[in-house]
Structure 1
């Protein structure tokens, strides 16, 4: 009879141990995700979400007539049958907004829906703000979607995104890409605290070069949250660290996360970004003194901006136009909007997206000309000095990261994994074809599309389309890693094959200070050049660990991620481990006492 209490205690401890090990983590994860149902209900990537906007006709007319003002009007929005009343609606954008304003017969603006503008407690399944992007300057309508898919698969905190078909007051407005706004809800979903400092740099200081120790001198840093004196000090610590030699970057930034971000940006040749001369289209988020970079605005990725360009591209990206007065060392300065529009009109016959009838020239969107993405200077953008229209020294964040040999090794590993999996032709084609099948019916019926259906087809499956870009970019990356291709980062950003089968390790053309000799001419350890087949579908990190991210994607590992070399531990994991250890100790103690009693 004395054995019964001991057996009961033993059994109870065993049950508690199993609960702590297997059940509690899942409970924690469920509670963590609670409140963000919109990731499933709004950003369901298996379908095209319906978005029906209703507002007063007079407000609609005023908003469209004064689109540049981006004034907010009141509207009611129904998404997939769920209606939210009294929301804020406005036009949004930069180049895309200005360009559509100049078109005579298009009102295909990008829009921003602010669910909590009039009522701070209001949301749609937890979503506070939704952007509807018009896929400007992207005939494939996939550049931004596939870019976020890559970022997401790399474990980078990525906004929710999916395709949406928009109607306004019963009139079809067309196929858009819905993207979660980067604000408090996104931060809370993506980070441990999610309540620290957020910045969207654009202007003075957005290159992150040292100006002074006065935070107020960085007028273009674009704080999106209230900034305290401590926040200012932490920002200056960040600026000083990346602008100094041999700094301990780990004390001010998430090195691994930033390497993954710049790996993806470089593979995508996304130059309408920090890596181009406009130095914008990114966010910085600081939590407990550690900065992360967040992806944003990818409609000109996959070479859509053009290597060396300063603005929207024309034929061959307007190469060779120098700006000596400004000290630019890239291929070109920004063409004017009229330059870009004229070039596009001269190279692409206007046509109606549905009927094929001629349109007004002013309807044609300015920007990248379909086919420019496959120019040699774009496909062969250097992976070791991945900037255009500027220099590495003018971009201290990426320069500091790639001035460390250990960082370069990890960066090479990531970029090789992207080249042999996500961008590998068979895998990329499969992913693109799935998206193509999903959106093709909506592209065909889109009454406001910037491009014809034929242009859409060409930019997806044609000789100058994104599939061909991915294949050639993959080949270029692997050739640069192996030393078969040496890219000279000159004004024309030209490239030349290596004469000795390996990169010139002593050359200043492609060297990164502090890491000139690291594995140039060799593939990173554990990586092999694909023999026509590439790696099996999906990226697999050696340790299989997952990372912070958004929705995941089939182009990567089983969980849509590749892991990090060193990752932090979530609070749930720490608590679970601690509870399990305590229970295991108690279980061991009870077992030993039971044995002693029997003896």
Structure 2
């Protein structure tokens, strides 16, 4: 029998051990739950169903809605109630979104099919949609296939690139069918937590297009830098968020500082035209009020039109005619020389945050400690996909945009964004030049040295070999092993009826069905060219392709314009009667 004087001590020890075990178990369970929430938030499954379509119903005051559409270029939020797959969220902020795409719709008298952003916490602080803070509703402009952006994100996901979630969506506005869109997870706090955990780093949205400057009263990509407690239309500028930097007023640089805007045809550094096809029509649309019906011209604001023309032409320029950081080139340690990066911060930032980015860019420019300052593997995967997709409305051309820069502990990586002009939908020349887009010099209108995030990595043999491995995987497995073709067929079975009944479609249903064959053939030929370039049977640089075009894959049998191109959408949108009713420009 245990001596009574030890009983109290034994009980005390037992209680302590039991308590410690319980606390430890609770911490483990909590950590596991936190990890699950971080990796798979509720909205990932409730919203982004790859096998289905999101049903979105928007209800807003009709006069507010009409005013928002009429003044879409201001990109101002209005409140609305949104029902998504049967669940209603009240007082959600909605606004039109886009740069050239928005201006294209704004200048077209026949359509008001804008892209939109839904910000769930714009009016109600802390409100989310199953954990999601913001959702983009993209109008699938310049894409006859309806699938370019979806397939691009599918390939990015297949290749392990950190990228947004996505799904097709059918949109109703005030109980009327509005259109069939693609929904994309915005790259903000929810995205950061899902991909990087609660201790995520900083995100920036470099944007060199002058039109971007006119809208940044914190209604731009970085809407998070604002006071959510204000009533509608009273959320002013936040810290560092959307403030216009010096030299960013949208003025067109002149003389030697004028931007080099690639035209059609050879598309800058694209290979020469082989078979005489010329898709040079895919230039930025001209805003000509004289082309509008007479009743429209009288209502069109000429000053606003001239501003839009100027902003459309101001491509790629920042302070003193340079890119102000969008090219990710190191200039010096002056923060002001990177204004197009830092003025578009997603989160609140400090000078220390800026300095880490500049330090990383400096080491990138010198090719030093690359794996310390660059997430090399992620960036190589990103560029392999971008190259395979011939996605030129991006970092690799004069546009130098449509990506997010992620920085964590001084290391940089790139997050993909905006792929409706992938599959050679932008400034890509003819079909043969696009199919054979050079894998070792995958830029257009610029030199490789002008895009150091790409060129400095490919200067390292080990990294170039890894980049080639990723391209081989894309060509052999994704395009060449039936995944791409089968995905198109499956998507068609899911969305075909929606496309057929899309009331604001940019293209007819017959054009849609015909485009799918072209899309499949483009993927097949692109894979053949990539494989040939990797094996050395096809030149892999732009210079070599210009010197000997006889070895290139002949793609003259396909017409890129059947898949949709920049400037090729919007003319068939059938909301003209509604625009006249609203007296829209």
TM-score higher than 0.5: yes
Residue 400 of structure 2 corresponds to which residue in structure 1?
279
Residues 444, 456 of structure 1: CA spacing in aligned structure 2 closer, same or farther, 3 A cutoff? same
Of 481, 484, 487, which residue of structure 1 is paired with 2:534?
A: 481
Residue 30 of structure 1 corresponds to which residue in structure 2?
36
Of 413, 416, 419, which residue of structure 2 is paired with 1:292?
A: 413
Residues 237, 69 of structure 1: CA spacing in aligned structure 2 closer, same or farther, 3 A cutoff? same
Of 185, 201, 207, which residue of structure 1 is paired with 2:327?
A: 207
Residue 425 of structure 1: how far off its partner (Å): 6.1
Residue 248 of structure 1: how far off its partner (Å): 1.5
Cα separation, 1, equivalents of 2:530 and 2:359: 34
Does the Cα contact within 8 Å between 2:439 and 2:541 map onto a contact in 1?
Answer: no
Of 473, 481, 492, which residue of structure 2 is paired with 1:436?
A: 492
Cα separation, 1, equivalents of 2:548 and 2:493: 37
Of 259, 262, 270, which residue of structure 1 is paired with 2:383?
A: 262
Residue 505 of structure 2 corresponds to which residue in structure 1?
449
Report SS of the residue matched to 2:542: coil
Report SS of the residue matched to 1:61: helix
Does the Cα contact within 8 Å between 1:376 and 1:494 map onto a contact in 2?
Answer: no
Of 227, 237, 241, which residue of structure 1 is paired with 2:349?
A: 227
Residue 58 of structure 1: how far off its partner (Å): 0.5
Residue 490 of structure 1: how far off its partner (Å): 4.4
Residues 97, 425 of structure 1: CA spacing in aligned structure 2 closer, same or farther, 3 A cutoff? farther
Report SS of the residue matched to 2:63: helix
The more displaced of 136-145 and 151-160 is 151-160
Does 2:434 align with 1:401? no
Cα separation, 2, equivalents of 1:441 and 1:392: 44
Residue 470 of structure 1 corresponds to which residue in structure 2?
523
The more displaced of 211-220 and 68-77 is 211-220
Residues 214, 424 of structure 1: CA spacing in aligned structure 2 closer, same or farther, 3 A cutoff? same
Of 39, 52, 76, which residue of structure 2 is paired with 1:47?
A: 52
Structure 1 moving runs of 4+ over 4 Å: 22-29, 490-495
Residue 107 of structure 2 corresponds to which residue in structure 1?
102
Does the Cα contact within 8 Å between 2:38 and 2:197 map onto a contact in 1?
Answer: no
Report SS of the residue matched to 2:532: helix
Does the Cα contact within 8 Å between 2:120 and 2:133 map onto a contact in 1?
Answer: yes
Residue 473 of structure 2 corresponds to which residue in structure 1?
417
Residue 304 of structure 1: how far off its partner (Å): 0.9
Does the Cα contact within 8 Å between 1:111 and 1:133 map onto a contact in 2?
Answer: yes
Residue 210 of structure 1: how far off its partner (Å): 2.1
Residue 179 of structure 2 corresponds to which residue in structure 1?
174
Cα separation, 2, equivalents of 1:25 and 1:432: 40
Residues 449, 493 of structure 1: CA spacing in aligned structure 2 closer, same or farther, 3 A cutoff? farther
Residue 104 of structure 1: how far off its partner (Å): 1.1
Cα separation, 2, equivalents of 1:148 and 1:236: 29
Please give the residue correspondences for 1:584-595 in structure 2 after superposition, counting only pairs within 5 Å: none
Deviations 1:423-481 (A, max 9, x none): 116221101111111000000000100001111111112xxx21111101000000000
Cα separation, 2, equivalents of 1:82 and 1:24: 28
Residues 495, 443 of structure 1: CA spacing in aligned structure 2 closer, same or farther, 3 A cutoff? farther
Cα separation, 2, equivalents of 1:31 and 1:454: 43
Residue 516 of structure 2 corresponds to which residue in structure 1?
460
Residue 189 of structure 1 corresponds to which residue in structure 2?
194
Of 405, 427, 430, which residue of structure 1 is paired with 2:483?
A: 427
Please give the residue correspondences for 1:50-61 in structure 2 after superposition, counting only pairs within 5 Å: 50-61=55-66
Does 2:438 align with 1:382? yes
Residue 304 of structure 1 corresponds to which residue in structure 2?
425
Residue 214 of structure 1: how far off its partner (Å): 0.8
Residue 249 of structure 2 corresponds to which residue in structure 1?
none
Residues 226, 24 of structure 1: CA spacing in aligned structure 2 closer, same or farther, 3 A cutoff? closer
Deviations 1:343-368 (A, max 9, x none): xxxxxxxxxxxxxxxxxxxxxxxxxx
Residues 242, 495 of structure 1: CA spacing in aligned structure 2 closer, same or farther, 3 A cutoff? farther
Structure 1 unaligned residues grouped into runs of 5+ = 1-11, 308-316, 318-371, 500-599
Cα separation, 2, equivalents of 1:158 and 1:288: 20
Cα separation, 1, equivalents of 2:461 and 2:160: 23
Deviations 1:45-78 (A, max 9, x none): 2111110000001001101100111010010000
Q: How many pairs are equivalent? A: 413
Structure 2 unaligned residues grouped into runs of 5+ = 1-17, 209-323, 553-585
Residue 89 of structure 2 corresponds to which residue in structure 1?
84
Does the Cα contact within 8 Å between 2:39 and 2:195 map onto a contact in 1?
Answer: no
Residue 31 of structure 1: how far off its partner (Å): 4.5
Report SS of the residue matched to 1:219: helix
Residue 306 of structure 1: how far off its partner (Å): 3.4
Cα separation, 2, equivalents of 1:32 and 1:181: 16
Bigger relative CO (Cα 8 Å, ≥ 6 apart): 2
Cα separation, 2, equivalents of 1:493 and 1:95: 31
Deviations 1:11-47 (A, max 9, x none): x9xx99xx99x9999656434346x201111111211
Residue 535 of structure 1 corresponds to which residue in structure 2?
none
Residues 175, 194 of structure 1: CA spacing in aligned structure 2 closer, same or farther, 3 A cutoff? farther
Residues 24, 195 of structure 1: CA spacing in aligned structure 2 closer, same or farther, 3 A cutoff? closer
Cα separation, 2, equivalents of 1:420 and 1:56: 52
Does the Cα contact within 8 Å between 1:161 and 1:179 map onto a contact in 2?
Answer: yes
Does the Cα contact within 8 Å between 2:38 and 2:193 map onto a contact in 1?
Answer: no
Deviations 1:528-551 (A, max 9, x none): xxxxxxxxxxxxxxxxxxxxxxxx
